[in-house]
Chain A
């Protein structure tokens, strides 16, 4: 009986280990992706960087057009 409990426990621990290994692999992938993004993402792929830059430019146009709109009643 005791031996059976022990082997069940080992089985559970094996499953838990496999799960944690899988989770660790995912976290390593997330770490690697975030590090890539911080170090190289802004330069290697023009399109997404262009989008981020456009958001900054757009803010300036929005502010100017809102501040100086000749038609605003307010």
Chain B
């Protein structure tokens, strides 16, 4: 058995069955059955199911989610399994899409309690405190080592629920000063439905919380690569409930944003959004507010995060994504020691940005160097803040 207490495995991408052009051979479909079998066998080569404290997985929505449920439960009987759908999956083998990633935390060094939070828009402070207390009690009652462990929280939630800010603020006081990271579920940029997985089922309009205890050295962190502000724009007409901006500086929003780039509104795509983001300045720091989509009939821009009438959006210039990440990880290594593993929620727009710059090999080099695994999210969470276009994760140092 391996000495490491965190294992990860990444499947091949989903494919449909097809015949080759010459008609001589048929290519078989690669679906959830094969993907779950592949990642399970890789993990189970190093650990038995009874050694696993928690299995965390992220899956493309290209796989049939009923098949994923059946297969993941089959391979990991009696294991606590949580997860969410994603917009890209990665480990040390580089960025992927249409794949399934599984991460196993072993009992030897981890104690993990989990909870499902349904009805995201309705959760209140009392419920949040009760859930947080319940998670603490679960670990306390189960683990003698509770007092000597350090703790952090991982959250995953429905990435199209539009309740991230409310959810994170509500749980911020419930968890107090416990470090917190997380990500919002994706659906491969389809923008149709995103899900979290808990206790053998996929749920929408829900979140999964993990209270993780370990004696392993760790730190929770987040990094963006905003370089400098370029120009200021005022939101002059918006619907905050749907996160839709209709006018910027008194002009139709999509048309205005496109004109700043010397483009037409119909040319606006996620690739463009990833390269030319808008941000807000709060507490002296810029936070990217990622664009989800534009509606050409109304010239409206919809965001992945909260907006409001009268807020000032700043057109920001981005720095080098890879350099910023490498500098951060090098600094963490200096501060906490050699890396064992990084679990990351990495915005899908960063992947698009990196892939447009043909920097796949560079990010893979970092993913290998630091043993990074995680998923491309529709939003990231750090200490109660809902972020966009960041790399947010937990760094585990080798002891």
**Closest residue on chain B to residue A23 by CB atoms:** B250
Q: Which of B57-65, B306-314, B339-347 contacts A (4 or more CB under 8 A)?
A: B306-314
Given contacts A33-B236, A34-B234, A64-B177, contact A56 B309 (CB under 8 A): no
Taking a contact as CB atoms closer than 8 A, the residue among A35, A55, A71, A73 that contacts B287 in the complex is A55
Taking a contact as CB atoms closer than 8 A, the residue among B243, B309, B385 that contacts A33 in the complex is B309
Indicate if the CB atoms of A47 and B249 lie closer than 8 Å: no
Chain B nearest CB, measured from A2 CB (Å): 39
> Number of A-B pairs whose CB atoms are under 8 Å?
129
Given contacts A57-B384, A71-B219, contact A47 B336 (CB under 8 A): no
Taking a contact as CB atoms closer than 8 A, the residue among A29, A50, A51 that contacts B236 in the complex is A29
Bound-complex Cα distance A8 to B241 (A): 49
- Tell me the residues in window 1-54 of chain A with beta carbons closer than 8 Å to chain B beta carbons: 25-30, 32-38, 41, 44-54
Q: Tell me if B127 counts as interface (CB < 8 A to partner A).
A: no
Indicate if the CB atoms of B240 and A51 lie closer than 8 Å: no
Q: Tell me if B285 counts as interface (CB < 8 A to partner A).
A: yes
Q: Is the interface of A mostly helix, strand, loop or mixed?
A: helix
| Residues of chain A lying within 8 A (CB to CB) of residue B334 | 73
Taking a contact as CB atoms closer than 8 A, the residue among A36, A47, A57, A74 that contacts B306 in the complex is A47
Indicate if the CB atoms of B150 and A70 lie closer than 8 Å: yes
Indicate if the CB atoms of B166 and A47 lie closer than 8 Å: yes
| Residues of chain B lying within 8 A (CB to CB) of residue A50 | 165-166, 168-169, 306
Residues of A near any B CB (own CB < 8 A): 25-30, 32-38, 41, 44-62, 64-65, 69-74
